[in-house]
Amino acid sequence: MSARLANKRIVLGVSGGIAAYKSADLIRRLRDAGAEVQVVMTAAAQSFITPLTLQALSGNPVHVDLLDPAAEAAMGHIELARWADLVLVAPASADCIARLANGVANDLLTTLWLATKAKLAVAPAMNQQMWAAPAMQTNLDVLRTRGVSVLGPAAGSQACGDVGEGRMLEAVQLAMACAEQFETGALTGRHVVITAGPTREALDPVRYISNHSSGKMGFAIAEACIEAGARVTLIAGPVHLPTPARVQRFNVVSADEMLIAAQSAAIDADVFVATAAVADYRPATVAEQKIKKSADVIALELIKNPDIVATIAAQTNRPFVVGFAAETENVVGHAREKLARKRLDMIACNDVARADIGFQSDENALTVIWSDGEQHLEKAGKSAIARQLVALLAVQLKKKEEQ
């Protein structure tokens, strides 16, 4: 469970009900598994458990007001909706489920629910007769048809004295169910090779040419591929990021080193994803000793580095090849040209001139292009973007194999 929840961003919505006490234990279990948790409480929920308690357990301020002037100055509810990988409402009362099913947006939780592209889940908690009511079952059917996961409920004795279905699942069961939300199986049995981060091209023993790539997008794609059931080899330039669970990682520095590692790993790969920001050029000569500061102007001769993604795409029995294009202008146009020139199967492009996405940011927005189609992935956390990209990749891979 911990591998699947590591680094996941979960918004926990707490609605009014005695089962709210279980939310405290759920937060602890999610955090123990490596997830980051933000809590949103309805007004009714605060009658059963205090925001201070859930703040202490989550390590984050608890969100309670839709029209909080401090948060809304930066469109707080929209930012929270974008931040989430999963929005889970637990407990989900009968009233809350009815409002979610009917698109009501009269508080922070229901507004966030409509504004997010994250995975959605509810953990019902109510009296057994309310659970059995036709109106309740109709509301749940509506949510299911929209892709919402309904977790539980369990059967047993209830706070009102009744016995039957309607009890919220226990915290450990819900934590496991959250982990299962990130397992897709779309790439089960596949070997995916990913390059990530920058390369460094030495000038002398202490200086180098590089770029601003953080590697975050490539690492997020590695996690998404693991969730999809793939075996993942990650070839990482010099970045300071932890290796995702179940990922085999090879560290490199220069473009030449990355090429050698990529060619070796791609021999039995089904998919090759080139997110690395490989330096286009390297110094023609590398000084053996530190270059001293002397002349006002020095000339630096650069030679072209190998094109790693094009090299892999040109191989016999090549894998399905996905390139990345980080551009500052004419983003889609340049990406389409690269798709054709390098004979790629798919390319994802983004505008790194934007300060709110791309290099160093935790968020991104991509346009994904293939031979006969394209899809725009709107701004979201890089983990969410990665899962959307992997889903598209899996579909296009299957189509290519069926041709």
Q: DSSP letter string over 182-243?
A: T---TTTT-EEEEEESB--EESSSS-EE-----SHHHHHHHHHHHHTT-EEEEEE-S---PP
Element (H, E) at 80: helix 76-83
160 in catalytic set: yes
With vertex at residue 265, the alpha carbon angle to CA 263 and CA 267, rounded to the nearest 5 degrees, is: 70
89-123 residues labelled b (16+ CB within 10 A) or e (exposed): bbbbbbbbbbbbbeeebebbbbbbbebbbbbbbbb
With vertex at residue 232, the alpha carbon angle to CA 121 and CA 364, rounded to the nearest 5 degrees, is: 55
Q: Which residues have CB under 8 Å from 317's CB, separation 6+? A: none
In contact, 172 and 152? CB cutoff 8 Å: no
Which residues pair with residue 150 across a beta bridge? 122
Q: DSSP letter string over 36-72?
A: EEEEEE-TTGGGTS-HHHHHHHHSSPPB--TT-HHHH
Which of 96, 160, 178, 225 is an active site residue? 160
Catalytic residues: 160
